[in-house]
Amino acid sequence: MNQKDLDVKDKKILFELDKDSRIPLSVLSKKIGISKEVAFHRLNNLVKRGYISRFQAVISTYRFGYQSYKIYLKLQNLTKEIRVQMQDFFMKNEMVYWICNCQGKYDMIVAYWAKNIRDFGDFENEILNKFSNYIQERDITITRKSTQYNRRWFYNDDSKLVETSFGEDLEEIKLDKIDIEILRNLADNARIKIVDLANKLNISISTIKYRLKRLEKNKVILGYKYALNSKLLNYEKCKAFIYFKNITDTKRKELINYCKSIPNVINIVLTIGSWDVEIGFEVKNFEEYYKIMSDIQEKYSDIVKSYESILFSSEPKQVFMPGIKSI
């Protein structure tokens, strides 16, 4: 199963869903130039065949008091059983929102939501108490700002770049239990129907609609995406950790604007930690990746000191809302 199995209409569906995975079928079908019924069957087929593993809301947890921390692990003395134990431990933790098994500088990356540094410290202590014998090296970063971009490598398209950003610049607001439950359901299934969500939460449809619009207006919900199995399209995921020198706000902004213009860039993360920025890519092969990074280094040699890389093997967990153990 590979990219050749998808025709232009399938790719257009994936392209539109990547900009807004909650797009109504009536709107999606018009954009693609097919009937609503055909759009329904094609979308379901993409899910059935594994191209789309889930639909998810992008939720700004910063708005209700959660900071994003990541711990990067270089492992040693690892057996298959121990790796399964580690992954299972992280999968069950409700504050872990992303797990990446990888190759290169690190073997595993775990992203964690915490209210404060003490909460994260307790989490790190628990990891070390259970698995320190298997950890050769570890690094930690705090996310300052994360921006996701719609995929523009499906096919040639001149449509506008869609950015979804969240980070430290968003002020905290209070949410009640109903808001939290709406967010948890959308984080797990962004295409859930309003009527089904209302029935599930035993709330009126009008209340769900009102609260959903309010959550979007207040930028608690920043957008709707989906998890793509890019390997089925013969694309690899990788990430560059970039170290700056002689950096200024202006130069940083110039580099970011250049990187986001690259169709293969899917996210940029500004960090506090050993390196300064992380850039996520989906590429045909490593030759393409290294060509892109070579161009970045050459174009911005005055501020890019060096970079390191990882290749994604799998992402067993990716959620945008605390309180979900695994999906």
DSSP classification of residue 321? S
Q: How far is CA 326 from the centre of its chain?
A: 15
Determine whether 258 is exposed, middle or buried from the number of CB atoms within 10 Å of its CB (0-12, 13-18, 19+). middle
Give the pLDDT confidence of 178-202 residue by residue, as tens digits. Answer: 999 999 999 989 999 999 999 999 9
10 Å CB burial of residue 157 (0-12, 13-18, 19+) is: middle
Tell me the whole-structure pTM to 2 decimals. 0.90
Quickly list DSSP for 44-68. Answer: HHHHHTTSEEEEEEEE-GGGGT-EE
Per-residue pLDDT reduced to its tens digit, 245-291:
999 999 999 999 999 999 999 999 999 999 999 999 999 999 999 99
Rounded CA-CA distance 3/122 in Å is 44
Which residues of the chain, if any, have pLDDT below 70?
1-4, 156-159, 168, 324-327
Q: Which pLDDT value is given to residue 170?
A: 72
Domains of the chain: 1-49 (1.10.10.10), 62-150+230-318 (3.30.70.100)
Q: How many CA atoms lie within 13 A of 238 on its CB side?
A: 22
- The reported pLDDT for the residue numbered 157 is 62
pLDDT given for residue 327 in this prediction: 43
